[in-house]
Structure formats: structure tokens, C-alpha cells
Amino acid sequence: MNVVIIGLGLIGGSFALDLQEHYDEIAVFGIDANEDHIKSAIALGIIQEKTSFERLNEADVVLVAIPVDAQLQVLPKVLDAINDHALVIDVGSTKEKICALLNTHPKRRNYLAAHPIAGTEYSGPTAAIKNLFSNKTNIICEVEKTAFKLQEKALDIFYKLGMRIRYMDAVSHDKHIAYVSHLSHISAFMLGKTVIKKEKNERDIFDMAGSGFASTVRLAKSSPAMWAPIFEHNKTNVIEALDGYIENLQQFKKLMENDQFTAIYEEMANTNRIKEILNGINL
């Protein structure tokens, strides 16, 4: 099986490493706008060699793991170049704009819209790790528009990598993911900004920061090059999520101003049920 990974960062690189663990007869090639990423990916055994868009007709599977704004330019180009039997998978964090763009493409049947809910705050080929996708949920959108044999090929890959599959329409995906993923990243970025702005002496931050701060702000280390386009693509849903979040923060502040600490306790106690909701979920 000839596989081409476009975007040799955390997701694309981890995907390549896992594929090589589970498939004996496989050759993995890479495309990346950053030449240093190509060199690192070869040195780390993520890919065997560099390839080009002109050679995509030789690929059996193409995984596109680049920022979502770049997906809009790259995915049509990929579909134009592949052979009639190739499978193209994108793993971006938003789906509505991409699915709408490709809806009338002559090779739409070759494309599968996927979003593995997996990752870390790190980026680039050195961030790639084995088993990143094990026991993680993979959301597939508009599966009925993908050729059945290519669905089977994709599912074989996903199951070998240990993923749990969920099916969803692209509009619902983007709405839900705004709350459970995109809002979390904004919270982390803004918490980091608030602390940096207040604490002019950075040494104080490092000396006083505990595990709670470190875990909460962890996502602020994520790549802005990836996340700014996500917020742009999912602007309407993210703003809706922010409105609800800001309303809750303002309410909490008001309770504190009015010394209503019994009400604050009840707010936190009611929110504690998130433990039950998340119980057993491997995040």
C-alpha cells in the first residue's frame, strides 16, 4: 500500500508511524511546505521519502493533515491528481466548509471527511508518537458520499489504529466541537494571556504555578498557525459557545461580589457531575 501524508506534524506523523506498525507491505511518502519537516520526518522514520503532487496518482491512500484554511486549497488539488481507486482522508477540526467545497467535485466519492479526537499541545514531526489514536473517537462526516469500498478501506485503517467510530453530519460536528474542543483552547490561551499580563515578573509565574495552572493552560502551547484558521472556519459556533461561557463567568463574578458563597458551592457541586459524564472516556 502506497500512502502519502500531506502535513508531517503531530497528527500526520503519528498516523504514519501507526500505519507502519500495522501494515507489513506499506510505503509512506510525505509532502510538507516546510523542507525541515521533510528532513526530520525521514530521519525519524515517519516517511521513507519525499514525494510531490505530480506523483499522487501512484497513491492508494492520501492523508491530508494541514491547517483547515490550507485544506480548502489543497484538497481539490489532491482529488484532481489521484487515481480513480485512491482514498483521500482529511483530519481537520472543522468540516462544514470543507465538505461544502468538495460536494460537487467529480471525485467526491474518493474523499472521506474524518476528525480523530486526539492530539497534544505539540506540533511538528518531532511531536509524532505511536498509539496516539488508540481508544480515541474518530468522527466521520457525510460517510454516505464516500464510495463503499473506500469506506471499508478507511474503516480497516481506523480500526487497526484502535479508533472508536462516530458518524455525524458536518454541521452538527462543527457545532458540537466548538463547545468541547475549540472553547477549551480559547480558555487556555486567554488564561495564559491574563496571567502573563498581570505577572510582569515571569519568574513569579514559574515559581508559584501548580499542577492546576499547568494543566489548565497546557493548550495555550498549541500552534496558532493551526488554531487561528479553525476559529475562523467555525466562527459562528465558537461565538455562540463563547457567549454561554462568558455569561457563566459573569454570573460567577456577580456571586462573588455579592458574597454568595453558598451559591458558588452549589454551582461547583452541580458542575461536579461532569465526572460522571466523562467517566470511562479515554481523553
97 and 214 part of one domain: no
pLDDT at 275: 78
Q: Between β-strands 111-116 and 137-141, what pairing exists: parallel, antiparallel or unpaired?
A: antiparallel
> With a cut of 70, which residues of the chain have pLDDT below it?
201-203, 206, 280-283
pTM, two decimals, is: 0.88
Give the pLDDT confidence score for residue 214 in this predicted structure: 79
Q: 143 and 39 in one domain?
A: yes
Residue 73 lies in a domain: yes
Cα–Cα distance measured from residue 83 to residue 75, given in angstroms and rounded to the nearest whole number: 14
Q: How open is the CA angle 149-97-99, to the nearest 5 degrees? A: 15
pLDDT for the residue numbered 283? 52
CATH code for the domain of 223: 1.10.3660.10
**Does residue 220 form part of some domain?**
yes
What is the model's pLDDT at position 280?
Answer: 55
52 phi-psi bin (left φ>0, alpha ψ -120 to 50, beta other): beta
Tens-place pLDDT, residues 60-113: 999 999 999 999 999 999 999 999 999 999 999 999 999 999 999 999 999 999
- Structural domain total, the chain: 2
Q: What is the pLDDT of residue 281?
A: 56
pLDDT of residue 165: 97
Contact (Cβ atoms closer than 8 angstroms) between residue 2 and residue 13: no
Model pLDDT, residue 73: 96
Are 28 and 73 members of one domain?
A: yes
Residues 267 and 130 in one domain: no
Distance of CA 212 to the CA centre of its chain: 24
> pLDDT value at position 206?
66
pLDDT at 213: 78
CATH code, domain with 79: 3.40.50.720
Q: Do 149 and 14 sit in the same domain of this protein?
A: yes
d(C-alpha 15, C-alpha 103), whole Å:
26
Task: For residue 14, count other CB atoms closer than 10 A to its CB.
Answer: 25
Q: What are the backbone dihedrals phi and psi of residue 272, each rounded to the nearest 5 degrees, phi first?
A: -55, -20
E strand or H helix at 178, and its extent? none
